[in-house]
Amino acid sequence: MTPDVDIPQEIEIRGDRFVPFIEVQRIQERTTEIAERINRDMDGETPIFICVLNGAFMFFADLVRQITIDCEVDFLKLSSYGEKKISSGNVQLVKDLNCEVEGRNIVIVEDIVDTGFSIDFMKKWIGKKNPASLKIVTLLHKPSSTKISHTLDYVGFEIPTKFVVGYGLDYAQKARNLPAIYILDGNHDTEQ
């Protein structure tokens, strides 16, 4: 077994302190399990994996490199958080897909499902383009934050309603580069 990557034991962003929460090796193991399940479940199909920018870029790269079935990739960019730690609920499309969706098996790859507003937006947006099927993969899910519920086909980790950063996820655009996932330190829940 490879030793875990040496990571900082705390980071500070805008006066908030974050501590390690999900280590690199656990992320990798779970990502491999999800990729193997997708390879089995979608055997014989040629899905298009959609990376939801920016947050999902790291998980997406690690996931699709373990996909062994024939597939394509494309990218979509949403915005809803601004520089705050709670969703504005006002989801906007910043970059649309470039692929033809009609009749295709689409797999949305998200970093985290929090309120569910973003997933709701994408299911409607992509649904209108008549895909053959539409599945959702998310690395993280905060079940207690749900405002709009949708079936999540593959979930890496269920986590409490606290802000997390690292491994693609940001706070005010910072910390996306960290290889592990960090959580806001202390007892307070997500705050504005």
The residue among 77, 61, 75, 53 whose CA lies nearest residue 27 is 61
Residue 87 interacts with, from ligand IMP, Mg ion, none (CB under 5-8 Å by kind): ligand IMP
166 forms part of the interface with ligand IMP (CB under 6 A): no
CB 167 within 8 A of CB 181: yes
Catalytic residue among 62, 111, 114, 170: 114
156 binding Mg ion? (CB under 5 A): no
Residue 110, SS3 per DSSP: strand
112, 122, 152, 178: residue in contact with ligand IMP (rule CB under 6 A): 112
Binding pattern for the stretch 14-53 against Mg ion, x by CB under 5 A and - elsewhere: --------------------------------------x-
One-letter amino acid of 95: K
* CB nearer ligand IMP, residue 60 or residue 117: 117
HSE-up of 32 (CA within 13 Å, CB side)? 6
Instruction: Give dist(CA 31, CA 186) in Å, integer.
Output: 28
Residues serving a catalytic function are 114
List of residues contacting Mg ion (CB under 5 A): 52, 55, 111
